[in-house]
């Protein structure tokens, strides 16, 4: 059975969906103040593998994702570039969607912009204020962290460090891995006429970043999510904030499982504009790599361990996939035309794959095991029927990996 590492509790748990009719998953989407790089796509690809593997196991999955298009960084970037915010974010959303298709990432069932769900965010803020969990200070509205008993449970904050004096943090995001020990902003009040604000029952303003996911999810899911995903960066402040918001207005937990993927590094360093070490998909395509090879590199490493990008590592991964493709071509040359996935040979290769994937989505271990099993099959000079059956099994596996055929 599939076992996943649940960040909430820091332990491996057997996966059980909240609702067997539909596994509900929400994955933190991109901040579209800039173009997504391959480090961002590593997270979205681990989430894609998760969705595809659950479907491979027979579950129906309903996945949501957000576009963060009205946070502080987006407003500042548009002003700096002299662009209308919507024009800038729409271009980055278009590029992102194109690259999702390029890398064979399934488009989520609902993919909403934060700017489209302002009303939902306002409704949640008003409910929080009514319950005493949020309060107005000047034009802004803040969440009182101490009103939520489990605050910091995801990250594991030592609440004994919490200051006795009231502190408020008014920015959407803060650099670094430090925790803001104080109340966080839900609503940015602003002057009338400011072009990134809405006239609402809360006054003129815009929803802060940390209320946006809650606003989008509330419009689509009225139960505990089976899984909530994101990059490890979101474990600093953001996901604890979202959990506190929703669990303060709902009588049930926000999510049963919380999964977090770790960074893609570049020669041991975090990818950043300041270091000049950001890679985009089009650069790798120009260097001769296929979309499948880029996808394979980014998923061929456990999602909870850091992955190091270098030209050498990228080349090694592409070479491995090409060698695997050569073995598949040999199998295709031996196979008959009819392929049946419901045969002992096909079921065997499927079991080899599942044995590793069921261990917290160990894609690398699964691919290595399938590769070794395929080498053994070819060394035994399989019959036409067996070769066809193994190919059928590989095609089933590739509904998850999306790199073989």
Q: What is the mean pLDDT of residues 343-366?
A: 96
> Looking at the domain covering 266-400, what would its CATH class be?
mainly alpha
Confidence of residue 275 (pLDDT cuts 50, 70, 90): confident
Give the DSSP letter of residue 262. P
Q: What is the mean pLDDT of residues 236-257?
A: 97
By the 8 A CB rule, do 112 and 64 touch?
Answer: yes
Confidence of residue 272 (pLDDT cuts 50, 70, 90): confident
Query: Is pLDDT above 80 for 342?
Result: no
By the 8 A CB rule, do 259 and 228 touch?
Answer: yes
Sheet containing 269-270: give its strands across: 269-270, 264-266, 307-309
The model's pTM is: 0.95
The ranges of the chain annotated as CATH 3.40.50.620 are 16-261
Which residues make beta-bridge pairs with 113?
67
The DSSP string of 287-313 is: TT--HHHHHHHHHSS-TTS-EEE-HHH
The architecture in CATH of the region 16-261 reads: 3-Layer(aba) Sandwich (3.40)
Query: Is pLDDT above 70 for 178?
Result: yes
Q: Closest by alpha carbon to 278, among 34, 30, 33?
A: 34
132's tokens: 């005493």
Give residue 99's pLDDT. 98
Confidence of residue 270 (pLDDT cuts 50, 70, 90): confident
Give residue 175's pLDDT. 87
The pLDDT tens digits for 3-17 are 999 999 999 999 999
The pLDDT tens digits for 276-308 are 899 999 999 999 999 999 999 999 999 999 999
Q: What is the mean pLDDT of residues 228-236?
A: 95
The DSSP string of 7-66 is: TTTTEEEE---S-TT-EEEEE---BTTS---HHHHHHHHHHHHHHHHHHHTT--EEEEEE
76 half-sphere exposure, CB direction, 13 A CA radius: 7
Give residue 88's pLDDT. 94
Query: Is pLDDT above 90 for 232?
Result: yes
Confidence of residue 29 (pLDDT cuts 50, 70, 90): very high
Q: What is the mean pLDDT of residues 179-195?
A: 87
Give residue 388's pLDDT. 92
Which residues make beta-bridge pairs with 134?
143
Give residue 191's pLDDT. 75
Judged by DSSP in three states, 379 sits in helix
Q: What is the mean pLDDT of residues 134-161?
A: 96
Give residue 193's pLDDT. 57
Give residue 194's pLDDT. 66
Give residue 306's pLDDT. 96
State percent of the chain over pLDDT 70: 98
Alpha carbon distance 207, 98 (integer Å): 28
Q: What is the mean pLDDT of residues 328-354?
A: 87
41-44 — which CB contacts under 8 Å span 24+ positions?
A: 41/99, 41/103, 41/105, 41/281, 41/298, 42/261, 42/263, 42/264, 42/298, 42/307, 43/229, 43/230, 43/231, 43/261, 44/100, 44/105
386's tokens: 């067996």
Confidence of residue 192 (pLDDT cuts 50, 70, 90): low
Confidence of residue 177 (pLDDT cuts 50, 70, 90): confident
Summarize the chain as % helix, strand, coil (round to 5): 45, 20, 35
Give residue 59's pLDDT. 97
Question: Rounded mean pLDDT of the chain?
Answer: 94
Confidence of residue 271 (pLDDT cuts 50, 70, 90): confident
Alpha carbon distance 135, 248 (integer Å): 14
The ranges of the chain annotated as CATH 1.10.730.10 are 266-400
Q: Closest by alpha carbon to 392, among 349, 330, 329, 334?
A: 349
Query: Is pLDDT above 60 for 336?
Result: yes
């Amino acid at each position: 059975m599939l076992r996943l590492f649940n960040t909430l509790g820091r332990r491996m748990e057997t996966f059980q969906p909240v609702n067997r009719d539909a596994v509900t998953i929400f994955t933190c989407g991109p901040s579209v103040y800039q173009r997504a790089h391959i480090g961002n796509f590593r997270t979205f690809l681990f989430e894609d593998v998760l969705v595809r593997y659950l479907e491979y196991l027979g579950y129906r999955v309903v996945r949501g994702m957000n576009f963060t298009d009205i946070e502080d960084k987006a407003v500042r970037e548009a002003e700096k570039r002299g662009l209308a915010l919507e024009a800038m974010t729409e271009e980055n959303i278009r590029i992102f969607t194109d690259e999702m298709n390029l890398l064979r990432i399934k488009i989520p069932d609902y993919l909403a912009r934060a700017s489209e769900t302002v009303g939902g965010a306002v409704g949640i803020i008003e409910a929080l204020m009514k319950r005493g969990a949020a309060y107005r200070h000047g034009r802004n509205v803040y969440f009182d962290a101490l009103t939520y008993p489990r605050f910091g449970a995801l990250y594991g904050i030592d609440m004994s460090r919490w200051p006795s004096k009231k502190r408020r943090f008014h920015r959407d995001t803060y650099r670094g891995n430090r925790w803001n020990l104080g109340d966080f902003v839900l609503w940015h009040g602003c002057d009338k006429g400011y072009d990134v604000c809405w006239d609402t029952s809360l006054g003129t303003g815009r929803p802060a970043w940390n209320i946006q996911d809650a606003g989008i999810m509330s419009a689509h899911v009225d139960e505990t999510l089976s899984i909530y995903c994101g990059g490890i960066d979101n474990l600093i402040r953001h996901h604890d904030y979202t959990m506190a918001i929703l669990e303060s207005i709902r009588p049930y937990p926000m999510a049963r499982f919380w999964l977090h993927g770790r960074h893609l590094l570049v020669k041991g360093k975090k990818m950043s504009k300041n270091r000049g070490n950001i890679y985009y998909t089009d650069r790798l395509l120009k260097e001769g790599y296929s979309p499948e090879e880029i996808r394979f590199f980014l998923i061929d490493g456990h999602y909870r361990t850091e992955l190091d990008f270098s030209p050498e590592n990228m080349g090694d991964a592409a070479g491995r996939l090409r060698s695997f493709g050569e073995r598949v071509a040999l199998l295709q040359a031996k196979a008959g035309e009819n392929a049946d996935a419901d045969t002992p040979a096909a079921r065997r290769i499927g079991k080899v794959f599942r044995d590793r994937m069921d261990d917290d989505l160990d894609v690398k271990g699964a691919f290595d095991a399938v590769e070794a099993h395929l080498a053994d099959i070819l060394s035994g000079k399989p019959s036409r029927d067996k070769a066809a059956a193994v190919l059928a099994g590989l095609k089933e596996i590739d509904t998850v990996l999306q790199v073989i055929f």
